Chain A
Amino acid sequence: MRSTINIAKAMVGPVERDTPPRKMSRRSVGEIIFFVAATVSFLLCMGTLVVMVVDLVQTSAGRLTWQFLSGVSSRLADRAGVLPAIAGTVWVTSIAMVISLPIGIGAAVYLEEFCRRSALSRVLEIAIANLAGVPAIIFGMVGLHLFVRWCGFGRSVLSGGLTMALVVLPLIILVSREAIRSVPRDVREGSLALGASTMQTVWHQVLPAALPGLLTGAILGVCRIIGEAAPLLALGAVTYLTKTPSGLDSPFTTLPIQVFNWISRPQVAFHHNAAGAIVVLLMVLFVLNGAAIVIRARGQRRG
C-alpha cells in the first residue's frame, strides 16, 4: 500500500520547490541505466571471447597432436591434418606480401611526399578509401576473372597470392601513409636544407624513421591475409590435398578454407578438426600481433 503511494507520488512528482532533489534522483536513474547498458555491452564482447576460447580449447583438446599438425587431407576425420593448409597459407601470404608491400609503401610515399593536392589526387584518395571497403568476396571474383581465367594461372597458389595482394593493398597503403605522416616535418626540412632532393630525403630519412610504423602495417596486412577466406573461396581453393604446394602453379588450400570445409561437413568429428585448425590459426595471429605490439613500443621509445 505504501509502495503504491510512493509510486503515485513519484509519477506525479513533487512540487516545484523540491526541484533539486528530484533532479538528483532522476539523474542517477539515468546513470544507472547507462551503466547497466555499458556493462551488458561489455559483457557481450567479453562473454563471446570467453565462450569462444573455452569451446575451442575443449573441442580441439583431443585433436591438437603432432599428427594433426603434420598430416594431410583425409576422408577420415581423425587422420586428417592441417599441413597442406599451413603450407598454403605461408605461400599465399608470402606472394601477397611480396607484391603488395612495395606497391603499397610506394603508393603511400607518392601520396604523402610528392602528390600535390588536386582533383586528380582526390580521385586517388577516393579510389583507395573505396577499395578498402570493397567486400572481400568481390576481390575473389575479380581474381577469378583476372588471374585464373584471363592470365591463365588457373586455380593455383599464384592466383591466390595475387588476389590476396589486391585485398591487402588498400590496408597497407592506409597504414603506411599514417606511418609516413607521423615522421616530423623537421626531419624532412633538415634534409632538404642540406641540399638533398625530395627523393633522397624519402629514402634516407623519411622511410627509416617510419620503419616501425611500416613494419606494424606489414604485420597487420599479414594477419588480414592469414584470416581471410572469402576471396580464396571464390578462386576455388582446393580443400582435399595430400601434399603441400611445390611451386607457383600448385593447387592450394589455406587454414580458413580448411576450417570452412570441415565446418560445412555434417559429421561432428570434422567440427573438432575445424576447432583444431582454428586454434592453430589463432595462435599464429596471436604471435604476429604480439610482434606488432613490441615493434610499436620500440618505435615509440626511440622516437
Chain B
Amino acid sequence: MGQALKKEGVHEIVSVADLNLWYGSHQALRSISLSAMTGEVLALIGPSGCGKSSFLRTLNRMNDLIPIVRVEGRVIVMGQDIYHDGVELAELRRRVGLVFQRSNPFPKSIYDNIAYGPRIHGERRRSELDGIVEQSLRRADLWEEVKDRLSASALGLSGGQQQRLCIARALAVRPTILLMDEPASALDPRSTAKIEELIGMLRGEYTIVIVTHNMQQAARVSDRTAFFCDGSLIETGVTSELFTNPRNAQTQDYITGRFG
C-alpha cells in the first residue's frame, strides 16, 4: 500500500499522548500514545476487554457518561485538547461521530432519525433538512432502499439496514472524524460486506477509527492498525506490514490466532 509514503504530507488529526483511564480503581488504559492521520482508516484490534472500546470512547468523551471514569493524559482532536475545561461537548461530538456496536436507531421514522442531529444543532428549514437526509442516506448507501418509506419507523428495517441508518445519522451532522465500535459484529456476512464496502467509500473523506474483533476485517478496510492488549498499546503500524511482519511477539501470537 502506498499510504505509508504519503504519511509525511498528512497531519495528525487525532493525537493522544500518555493516556490513562480508570473505571473506579481498575485501570483500563495504560499510558497510550497514538495518532490518527487526516483521511485514513485506523483499525484498533485486540482481545476483548483490552481497552480498545474505552480508547475509542475517550475520543468523543462518551466515557463521561459513566460517573466512575477518570481520565489522565492529553487527547488532542483537531488541534484542541478535548479534556480541557472550556470544551463544548456538543460541538466535539458533532465533529467526532460515533457508530455503535449494536445498531441503535431511535424509535422514530427513518427521516426523523437522520434529521434529529441537524435539528438539535439548530437546522430548522425543511428544504435544508430534506437535502441533508437524502445526501446522508446516499452516502450510507441506503437511499435506494428506503426512499419510498422515509416516514416509516426505523425499527422496521433489517439489522444491516439499521446499522447503515446509524452511519447515515452520524454523517448527517457533517463530522470530520467517524468512530466505529465494532459496527459489524452483530450482522450477518452479507450486511458486514456491505458495511465494509461503505467504509471503503467513506475513506479519504472522513478520518475513520474503527474497533474490530475481526482481523480480516481490519486487514480489508484499514490503512493502519493498532494492537491493544490488557489496556496497553502493543504495536502500531501500516496494516499490511503489521499483519505480515509484526515486530512484537504478542502481536504475532494474536494475529496467528494463538490467543484472543
Contact = CB atoms under 8 A, between A and B. Distances in A.
Interface stretch (B5-13, B75-83, B101-109, B218-226): B101-109
A252 to B, nearest CB: 41
A186 B120 contact: no
A117 B66 CA distance: 12
A186 B104 contact: yes
A123 B65 CA distance: 23
Interface in A150-207: 184, 186-197, 200, 204-205
Given A194-B169, A204-B120, A189 B107 contact: no
Which of A188, A192, A200 is most buried by chain B, counting CB atoms within 10 A of its CB? A192
Chain A interface size band reads 20 to 34
Contacts, number: 73
B107 A209 contact: yes
Interface in B93-112: 93-94, 97-98, 100, 102, 104-108
Given A116-B67, A192-B62, A193-B97, A187 B104 contact: yes
A191 B169 CA distance: 10
Interface string B151-180: 001010000000000100110010000000
B111 to A, nearest CB: 14
A117 B107 CA distance: 29
B62 A189 contact: yes
Contact of B170 (A184, A193, A197, A303): A193
Interface in A103-162: 116-117
A122 to B, nearest CB: 15
A184 B93 contact: no
B106 A195 contact: no
Contacts of B117: 194-196
A26 interface: no
B62 A190 contact: no
Given A186-B102, A209-B107, A195 B91 contact: yes
A23 interface: no
B119 to A, nearest CB: 8
Nearest to B172: A194
B100 A194 contact: no
A302 interface: yes
Nearest to B153: A302
Contacts of A205: 106
Interface in B106-131: 106-108, 116-117, 119-121
B65 A192 contact: yes
Contact of B107 (A187, A194, A195, A200): A187
A208 B105 CA distance: 14
A199 B65 CA distance: 14
B239 interface: no
A134 B102 CA distance: 44
Interface string B41-54: 00000000000000
B90 interface: yes
A194 B166 contact: no
Contact of A190 (B60, B65, B104): B104
B92 interface: yes
B100 A196 contact: no
B120 A195 contact: yes
A184 B105 CA distance: 11
A163 B225 CA distance: 65
Given A186-B102, A191-B116, A195-B121, A303 B107 contact: yes
B87 to A, nearest CB: 12
A196 B94 CA distance: 8
B120 A193 contact: no
A239 B240 CA distance: 88
A195 B173 contact: yes
A208 B107 CA distance: 9
A303 B155 CA distance: 9
A205 B107 CA distance: 8
Contacts of B98: 193
A204 B93 CA distance: 17
Interface of A: 116-117, 184, 186-197, 200, 204-205, 208-209, 302-303
Given A194-B116, A194-B117, A204-B119, 12 more contacts: A187-B106, A190-B104, A190-B166, A191-B106, A193-B62, A193-B97, A193-B98, A195-B90, A195-B94, A195-B120, A195-B173, A196-B116
The 10 closest A-B pairs by CB, nearest first: A186-B104, A195-B94, A195-B93, A193-B98, A194-B117, A195-B90, A190-B104, A196-B120, A200-B120, A209-B107
13 contacts: A190-B100, A190-B169, A191-B106, A192-B62, A193-B98, A194-B117, A195-B91, A195-B93, A196-B90, A196-B116, A208-B107, A209-B106, A209-B107
